[in-house]
Amino acid sequence: MSDLEVARDDIALSAIAAGNAPDSDDPTLLLLASYRADLDEAAAPPEPLRVDSTVVPLAPRRRRATLVALSAAAGIVVGGLTAGAVAVADRPGESLYAVHVAVFGKAETKTSDVTALLDQASGLLARGDRAGARRLLGRAAAAIPTVPESDRPALRRRLDDLLPYAAEPARPTPRPTPTATRATPRPTESEDRSGSNSGSGRSAEPSESEDHSGSGSSGSGSSGSGSSGSGSSGTSGSSSGSTLDSSGSGSSGSGSSGTSGSGSGLSGSDDSGADDH
């Protein structure tokens, strides 16, 4: 082992560490560079979809059409069994979902659709379009209750991840009581809950701002001054609170009210947040 070899490897690894190709034809180093490139791709904020764009527009629609036919048949064949599900037929997405589960025992997979929304929101955030990202996140929040239950926690978490970035920057001073009436009790509430673990009880029924009280607490605890932490997380907390509201109440009319609900909640945070960008 010579010093030269050690130095050469270090230079090559430094190139890879920086995301570049090493100036080397050593197959092992090139393999590691390829590995890193793949990880870069996997970790990039605007993630390339697993659902590729040629499939997305067609497949779900076809599946949905099949589902309509199937659900009609199901209503006849297993009418007794699915009566409960059919009774909520005024909410198409959910009734189909319920029928599908009743008939096939397997959920309709719409998770990829929500993932696509979140991916798009990531992309918009990467380009600095927060308002656009908030709209997509609102739609994602409204759609989450319609995906298979086992997928919801991960989607909610991902949504939670994105929300702080979508929030308009708040002033680094404690906010006055937000003008939006619904937001008034929230600051104290999130303080009460600030000790709660952000990971707890997420899937069942997301209560207002539960997750973001988690991030809120860490935010305010984090940055010494506390003002910024609570300021920023207050913003994201109020926005997420409303979006989670919509997803929580999603079982009743998640589509429309969810979206508008989150819209108003988010615009509430717009009002109070100062735009210092």
Partner 1 sequence: MSPLVDDVALVLAAQQGSDAAVRDLLAQVRPAVLRYALARLGRRDVAEDVTQEVCLAVLTGLSRYEDTGRPFRSYVFAIAAHKVADAHRATYRGAVAVADVPDGPDDSPGPEEQVLRNDEARAAHALLDTLPDDQRELLLLRVAAGLSAEEVGAVLGMSPGAVRVAQHRALNRLRAVAGGAR
- Binding region for partner 1 (CB under 8 A): 1, 5-7, 9-10, 13-14, 16-20, 26-29, 31-32, 34-45, 50, 104-107, 148-150, 153-154, 157-158, 160-161, 164-165, 169-170, 172, 198, 203, 214-215, 218-219, 221-229, 231-232, 276-277
- Select 149 or 271, whichever has its Cβ closest to partner 1: 149
User: Can you tell me the distance from the alpha carbon of 11 to that of 44, in angstroms, rounded to the nearest whole number?
Assistant: 25
For the CB of residue 26, give the shortest distance to partner 1 in the complex, in Å: 8
Instruction: Give the nearest distance from C-beta 221 to partner 1 in angstroms.
Output: 5
| Cβ proximity of 134 and 105 under 8 Å | no
Integer CA distances (angstroms), 110 to 71, 144, 150, 219, 244, in order = 17, 9, 12, 33, 19
Least distance between partner 1 and beta carbon 38 (Å): 4
Instruction: Give least dist CB 92 to partner 1, A.
Output: 22
Q: What minimum distance in Å lies between the beta carbon of 137 and partner 1? A: 16
- Nearest Cα neighbor of 143 from 110, 119, 169, 165 is 110
User: CA 70 to CA 203: how far, in whole Å?
Assistant: 29
Q: In angstroms, how far apart are the furthest CA atoms of the chain?
A: 79
Judged by beta carbon, residue 52 or residue 90, the one nearer partner 1 is 52
Closest distance of CB 253 from partner 1, Å: 26
Provide the token pair at 228: 């910024």
Nearer to partner 1, 235 or 259 (CB): 235
In terms of CB distance, is 229 or 255 closer to partner 1? 229
> Using N-to-C axis directions, what is the helix angle for 111-126 and 152-166, rounded to 10°?
20
Give the residue with the Cβ less far from partner 1, 229 or 261. Answer: 229
Which is closer to partner 1, CB of 136 or CB of 167?
A: 167
- How distant, in Å, are the alpha carbons of 9, 34, 208 from that of 19? 15, 10, 41
CA 238 – CA 262 distance, rounded (Å): 10
Q: Rounded to the nearest 5 degrees, what angle is found at the Cα of 172, between the Cα atoms of 167 and 174?
A: 95
